[in-house]
Structure 1
């Protein structure tokens, strides 16, 4: 009997690559995202036998619950949840940031992730499943302009550790996946579609790819049930740690 994965934010980047990797490995996959046309493209590419798609905004709790209620019987036994949906918006320092962008990041990266996790906990406990949360190195290492985005990812990391503690004895595994520089649509979204900014960031850096992260998710999800990876921090070799900022003068 194939195992079943639910992955959010499946219309691009890590999510789309994860759909492909788990289908390739023989799993059933529930793929969710806002963009129905991209979800349909996944169906066109992979077929509908082991893939179910659900289009809704992850911030809409009612739509989320309706999508879960509407799952076909064959997809209801969810074994692994990958909370991938998330975004960064803006690069301005906090004193010049757009509050609406802060709110959108919190609603997506924090509130929606917690809401979906809460809804699926009974099923995941019953099936002794796993929760893989996509955090970021931004949750551990601050940088100018990271402000609320970094804060939301720090929440994801700490929430994962808290879940691990609360789920002690249930057999449910919980992992915080914390990627560094990976070339996806991330920077395009963050900058409002500035392709030049994206090209500048990744150019010559040999960044990670969406497929690299999907492979790590596949590995963690398929570990023996007595093993748990608490946190997995991943960077390209080209990326490492910067020094502290020092302001001199008045």
Structure 2
């Protein structure tokens, strides 16, 4: 039997890298897609003939369409799509935030995820098999100061996932959304604070956050479920985090 094929975006680091590794170890042939080809090639060298490195900027619609249309024949029929590529930029309040940062988050987290899905989904429907796993965030459910467009973009991922499942009613295709909370071991915070290591590391001081391997394990669990089981949404937090009471600012 031919090994199933997984397509993982943002696979050069963090959740995406851990997911690509986990799925390769589970026996998948993995298309590892990201902008940084050198990191992908390092990964592919660890799994020869099993991991295909694909340079891809999900925010570039033409590049997405071309890259997926030109996949090698033995990698073309994607069984599992993991839409992981995404980022947060800044933590300023909306009135002081950068519009360019907002645009980048929308282009990547919303339009990029939609473009990859749009390119791969028709093949899944034609074959009547497949699974889409979108990586959202608890930021899409719980507002916090400075979350503004990042949180809104992850709310899009949540709702888009549910609406995909509604559209795919009557097919065998499954759709899930994983929504992690505080997570370390990736470049997420370094990217958010544009290389400010002090700010990035401060977020995790005194905590035991989720790890990329935790997310990868959850992806692997979803793929292992019987084909008649669909998990709509998984919300994950480390034990040190909780959905707490709404913040109230009190005048002195």
Note if contact 2:58-2:115 (Cα within 8 Å) is conserved in structure 1.
Answer: no
1:154 aligns with 2:134: no
Q: Tell me the SS of whatever aligns to 1:237.
A: coil
Pairwise mapping of residues 158-197 of structure 1 onto structure 2 (< 5 A)?
158-183=159-184, 184-197=186-199
* Equivalent of 1:206 in 198, 205, 208: 208
Residue 34 and residue 204 in structure 1: after superposition, are their counterparts in 2 closer, same or farther (change >3 A)?
same
Give the whole-Å Cα distance in 2 for the aligned partners of 1:187 and 1:170: 38
Q: CA deviation at 1:121?
A: 1.1
After TM superposition, the score normalised by the length of structure 2 is 0.96
> What is the aligned counterpart of 2:245 among 243, 246, 250?
243
Provide the secondary structure at the position in 1 that maps to 2:203. helix
- Any idea what the Cα deviations from partners look like across 1:35-60, whole Å, max 9, x if unmatched? 1111111112222x011111121111
Farther-moved stretch of structure 1 (115-124 vs 221-230): 115-124
Aligned residues: 249
Structure 2, unaligned stretches of length 5 or more?
Answer: none
In 2, Cα distance between the equivalents of 1:170 and 1:241?
35
Unaligned runs of 5+ in 1: none
Q: 1:127: how far off? A: 4.1
Aligned-pair RMSD on alpha carbons?
A: 1.1
Match of residue 101 from structure 1? 101
Distance in 1 separating the partners of 2:101 and 2:221: 34
Shift of 1:77: 1.1
TM-score, normalised relative to structure 1: 0.97
